[in-house]
Amino acid sequence: MPDTPPTSPETGHEVIQSYLKTLDNSPGVYRMLDAQSRVLYVGKARALKKRVSNYAKPAGHSPRIARMIRETASMMFLTTRTETEALLLEQNLIKQLKPRYNVLLRDDKSFPNILVSRTHPFPQIKKHRGAKSETGEYFGPFASAGAVNRTLNQLQRVFLLRNCTDATFESRSRPCLLYQIKRCSAPCTGYITAEDYSASVADAVRFLKGDSTDLQAQLASQMAKASEAMEFERAAALRDRIRALTNVQSTQGINPRGVREADVIALHMEGGQACVQVFFIRANQNWGNRDFYPRIGPDIEEPEVLEAFLGQFYDQKEPPRQLILSHQIENADLMIDALSQKLGRKVEIVVPQRGEKAELIDGALRNARESLARRMAEGQAQTKLLDGLAEAFGLDAAPKRVEVYDNSHIQGAHAVGAMIVAGPDGFLKSQYRKFNIRGEDLTPGDDFGMMKEVLTRRFQRLLKEDPDRESEAWPDLLLIDGGAGQVSAVKEIMGDLGIDDVPFIGVAKGIDRDLGKEEFHRPGALPFALKRNDPVLYFVQRLRDEAHRFAIGAHRAKRAKAVSATPLDDIAGVGATRKRALLSHFGSAKAVSRADLADLKAVDGVNEALAQKIYDHFHERG
């Protein structure tokens, strides 16, 4: 609840002034709210009273801050023990509440790692994303799945490590194609000893830790010894490994010699937009880069943007030992303290002026400038297309949020509904949603019924979370895959929900279901088509194809999960590891269901209580 001020002016600096008598100079976090109790801004303070008193002044503010003060109707306060705690709480609340006047990091996905698994005598090397719960060595983060895949491909070429699952490994009776193309040493069929495979794994780990030069010298020495001993086959294998390692080093790009572990972070701002470029340097190797486009205000400065970015970016991520920045930030000592606490060791922040680190920043800044220029050009083109969409479909204004719906199933099985979102910034993939069709009374293949379930669930949730329709989550236009029948069904669904101000269009394939002959259907109007070469038509086709791609992907994932499902999945306490152990021991789920209690107890990792639970699951007692 907002703190109650001693007096009750409506909005502005006077309402802020009224809180000063109740505040002291403790560190903490404050929130500024408008007349509808929506959070306008979240800030931290070393001394709350001093900080808030700045807002109580009637003049001397930037246009953005002055506008925010005019809209402020109430405030909320939370005191903390230290300013570092206030910084951490501030960034947490910004990510949670998304206030209008804060810098906001909009894309905050996790980054993939490489995992060398240690749960098997012949370790698997694979891509890993999420919590580091599996036993093994983790290397990362990598900027993207593509960067991980390239590195894994290189490791396969050089060290011939397996990437198959343990279940596939156990089921092999002869080498797979990867062995034939010299990407794996085939440990599954005994073509390499455990000792030699472990040596390859150790070499791969050394490579990932940045010891590639020493590793190459060691391999050259081993090749010479093998040649002297007339072990020509082994010498040839080592020669091929050295060549592959040399090729990897030549294709990795610029790898800094004097920077072992750092994130290189550069900010470029232009035309009210910002791009932050992050390069990941680990083990003296460049493990890729990613660009981010935080939401900023019109009169905000680089130090504030960069500090807000760091706080939100590392909120759920482990920081490296060093951050190399393009600009100074406002509270560097505070940020160092907060990140050091998170990492459990000292984190250094540097803004280099010369040398190799300055060259890294120059490269990152160049990337940030180019990325922002491309984005602004794409944004202008996207804005024109949205304007064209509004004109073609008779909308009052260009839509800022277009939602496109599609279904995917095979004769009704594993049915999935999908929603994709597009706006002025292009496809908003973080807003995509999939819906597992749950309706038990649906006839298999009933597309109308599926659409009804998806739209009902989507808009019932919107009505519950934002009944006043004040957030950006409400769409300005719906595109539905289908013709007059689908449009009529959607009209009925929206009418039942009491929503009559969200326009929707049915996109149906025209004569001969030919691309380019699409017909568009609106409630109470005749269907119409656009000219074949109309950019708006191509835009709609792109939107529909993206929805179709996303729906098919969700359907395939659901179907694959169903194919691998077994009755063991329904038993509490039987996770992936125990499921694998049971299937490996008995050969199939059917055999597990027929096993007696003594045999179940003999399985690795299955204690007496779990064995009894499994037995009871398949042998219900009367």
Q: What is the pLDDT of residues 234-255, one digit of tens each?
A: 677 767 667 666 655 544 445 6
pLDDT for residue 501: 86
pLDDT at 7 over 50: no
**Helix (H, G, I), strand (E, B), or coil: what is residue 74?**
strand
pLDDT band for position 412 (50/70/90)? Answer: very low
- Tell me if 85 sits within 8 A of 93, measured CB to CB: no
Q: What is the mean pLDDT of residues 501-513?
A: 79
* This model's pTM is above 0.75: no
Taking the C-alpha atoms of residue 508 and residue 541, their distance in angstroms, rounded to an integer, is 11
CA distances 366 to 308, 375, 454, 459, 461, Å, are 21, 14, 44, 43, 43
pLDDT at 387 over 90: yes
Q: Using CB atoms within 10 A of its CB, is residue 181 exposed (0-12), middle (13-18) or buried (19+)?
A: exposed
pLDDT for residue 292: 92
Short-list 144, 165, 147, CA closest to 155: 147
Q: CA 470, 471, 472, 477 torsion: positive or negative?
A: negative
Short-list 349, 352, 344, CA closest to 334: 349
- Tell me if 445 sits within 8 A of 476, measured CB to CB: no
pLDDT > 90: percent of the chain = 30
Task: Provide the CB-side half-sphere exposure for 140 (13 A, CA).
Answer: 28
Q: What is the mean pLDDT of residues 202-219?
A: 75
pLDDT at 107 over 80: no
pLDDT at 336 over 80: yes
pLDDT at 332 over 70: yes
Q: Using CB atoms within 10 A of its CB, is residue 573 exposed (0-12), middle (13-18) or buried (19+)?
A: exposed
pLDDT at 621 over 50: no
- Tell me if 55 sits within 8 A of 87, measured CB to CB: no
Query: Is the bond leading into 141 cis (omega within 30 degrees of zero)?
Result: yes
Cβ-based neighbour number of residue 229 at 10 Å: 10
Q: Classify residue 113 by its DSSP letter.
A: E
Taking the C-alpha atoms of residue 513 and residue 164, their distance in angstroms, rounded to an integer, is 42
Taking the C-alpha atoms of residue 30 and residue 591, their distance in angstroms, rounded to an integer, is 62
Q: Which of 157-171, 201-215, 480-494, 506-520 has the lowest mean pLDDT?
A: 506-520
Taking the C-alpha atoms of residue 308 and residue 153, their distance in angstroms, rounded to an integer, is 36
- Tell me if 186 sits within 8 A of 192, measured CB to CB: yes
pLDDT at 170 over 70: yes
SS3 content of the chain, % helix, strand, coil (to 5): 45, 20, 35
pLDDT band for position 358 (50/70/90)? Answer: very high
Taking the C-alpha atoms of residue 348 and residue 318, their distance in angstroms, rounded to an integer, is 14
Q: What is the mean pLDDT of residues 229-234?
A: 74
Short-list 545, 516, 559, CA closest to 420: 545
> Comparing 599 with 480, which gets the higher pLDDT?
480
pLDDT at 469 over 90: no
Task: Walk me through the domains of the chain, giving residue ranges and CATH numbers.
Answer: 13-97 (3.40.1440.10), 118-251 (no CATH), 261-373 (3.30.420), 402-409+416-541 (3.30.420.340), 567-618 (1.10.150.20)
Residue range 21-64, pLDDT digits in tens: 889 999 999 999 998 888 999 999 999 999 999 999 888 888 88
pLDDT at 265 over 90: yes
pLDDT for residue 32: 94
Question: Strand 28-33 relative to strand 39-45: parallel, antiparallel, unpaired?
Answer: antiparallel
Q: Classify residue 166 by its DSSP letter.
A: H
Taking the C-alpha atoms of residue 412 and residue 418, their distance in angstroms, rounded to an integer, is 15
pLDDT band for position 216 (50/70/90)? Answer: low
Question: Strand 477-481 relative to strand 285-292: parallel, antiparallel, unpaired?
Answer: unpaired
- Tell me if 167 sits within 8 A of 195, measured CB to CB: no
pLDDT for residue 220: 76
Q: What is the mean pLDDT of residues 490-515?
A: 81
Cβ-based neighbour number of residue 90 at 10 Å: 24
pLDDT for residue 76: 94
pLDDT for residue 183: 84
Tokens of 221: 């020495």
pLDDT, mean over the chain: 84
Q: Which of 65-69, 133-137, 343-347, 573-577 has the lowest mean pLDDT?
A: 573-577
Rg (CA), the chain: 30
